[in-house]
């Protein structure tokens, strides 16, 4: 059984295997502005698994968006972090992404919960209003509970027409650190290497409804 160790690097997203920042130099001012504009607006998209969006059709209280442990084995990119996913077009996520779709993976440092009395129970949050952000910042893994602590950064994908320059089957990748530095954008080779195997048109997808 693999142990989830909450020691991570500050940069979220994809970097080359040797830690090179060569891709950072290729970020144009226009790409940087686009990535930062997405960072500024992504909260308004809503988390893909926040069931408040589906409340009129549910016969129970809506579940909140939840924190999820990364399945990546690479601690230098997504690995060892918790995350939550936002999508601009919820109806098109993850199987019907058209130009204009934006998907943001907001990443957090994982903090081990050491209180033995704490019980993982996202259902409890669904019983009371929590303001604008209906989010349960805890996750379970390998018999332990972790809390989504401080922000680690954002990993962004946005869809453009395939005829546009610098895209991967229509997708443009971007990585932004918690202090708003755009570290890479465009056709990021290390990101493409993973996402070319994703089952939903370069997206891996997370459940959009609660599955007990």
Encode pLDDT of 42-99 as tens digits.
Answer: 999 999 999 887 655 667 778 899 999 986 555 554 447 999 999 999 999 999 999 9
Q: Is residue 14 part of a domain?
A: no
How would you label 169-187 residue by residue, b for 16+ Cβ within 10 Å and e otherwise?
A: ebbbbbbbbbeebbbbbbb
In the chain, what percentage of residues exceed pLDDT 70?
A: 78
Residue closest to 50 by CA, chosen among 93, 89, 92, 85? 85
- Higher pLDDT residue, 53 or 117? 117
Question: What pLDDT, on a 0 to 100 scale, did the predictor assign at position 17?
Answer: 35
Q: Is residue 4 part of a domain?
A: no
Q: Is the pLDDT of residue 150 over 50?
A: yes
Q: Is residue 212 part of a domain?
A: no
User: What CATH code is carried by the domain that includes residue 172?
Assistant: 3.50.70
Mean pLDDT of the chain, nearest integer: 83
Q: Is residue 186 part of a domain?
A: yes
Q: Is residue 16 part of a domain?
A: no
Q: How many CA atoms within 13 Å lie on the side-chain side of 51? A: 21
Question: What pLDDT, on a 0 to 100 scale, did the predictor assign at position 4?
Answer: 33
Quickly state the pLDDT bin for 212 (edges 50, 70, 90).
low
Establish whether the linkage from the previous residue to 30 is cis, with ω within 30° of 0. no
Could you please report the per-residue DSSP string of the chain?
---------S--S---TT---GGGGG--HHHHHHHHHHHHHGGGG-BTT-GGGGGGG-SSPPPPEE-EE---S-TTTTTTEEEEEEES-STTTTT---TT-EEEEEEEEEEE---TT----HHHHTTS-BTB--EE-EEEETTEEEEEEEEEEEEEEEE--TTSSS-BTTEEEEEEETT--EEEEES-HHHHHHHTT-TBTTB----SS---
Question: What pLDDT, on a 0 to 100 scale, did the predictor assign at position 60?
Answer: 74
Question: What pLDDT, on a 0 to 100 scale, did the predictor assign at position 3?
Answer: 33
Question: What pLDDT, on a 0 to 100 scale, did the predictor assign at position 63?
Answer: 87
Q: Is residue 207 part of a domain?
A: no
**pLDDT tens for each residue of 176-191:** 999 999 999 999 998 9
Q: Is residue 6 part of a domain?
A: no
Average pLDDT over residues 173-177: 98
Question: What pLDDT, on a 0 to 100 scale, did the predictor assign at position 177?
Answer: 98
Q: Is the pLDDT of residue 211 over 70?
A: no
Domain count for the chain: 1
Average pLDDT over residues 22-51: 88
Segments forming the whole domain that contains residue 76 = 22-195
Quickly state the pLDDT bin for 21 (edges 50, 70, 90).
very low
């Amino acid at each position: 059984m693999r142990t989830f160790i909450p020691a991570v690097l500050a940069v979220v997203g994809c970097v080359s295997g040797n830690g090179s920042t060569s891709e950072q130099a290729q970020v144009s001012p226009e790409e940087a502005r686009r990535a930062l504009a997405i960072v500024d607006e992504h909260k308004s998209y809503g988390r893909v698994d926040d069931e408040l969006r589906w409340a009129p059709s549910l016969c129970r209280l809506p579940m909140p968006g939840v924190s999820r442990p990364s399945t990546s084995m690479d601690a230098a990119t997504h690995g060892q972090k918790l995350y939550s996913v936002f999508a601009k077009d919820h109806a098109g996520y993850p199987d019907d992404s058209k130009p204009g779709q934006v998907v943001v993976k907001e990443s957090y440092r994982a903090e081990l919960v050491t209180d033995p009395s704490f019980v993982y129970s996202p259902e409890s949050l669904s019983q009371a209003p929590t303001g604008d952000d209906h989010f349960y910042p805890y996750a379970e893994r390998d018999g332990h509970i972790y809390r989504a602590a401080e922000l680690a950064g954002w990993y962004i994908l946005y869809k453009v027409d395939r005829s546009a320059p610098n895209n991967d089957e229509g997708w443009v990748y971007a990585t932004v650190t918690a202090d708003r530095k755009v570290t890479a954008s465009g056709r990021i080779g290390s990101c493409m290497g993973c996402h070319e195997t994703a089952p939903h048109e370069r997206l891996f997808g997370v459940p959009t409804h609660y599955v007990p």
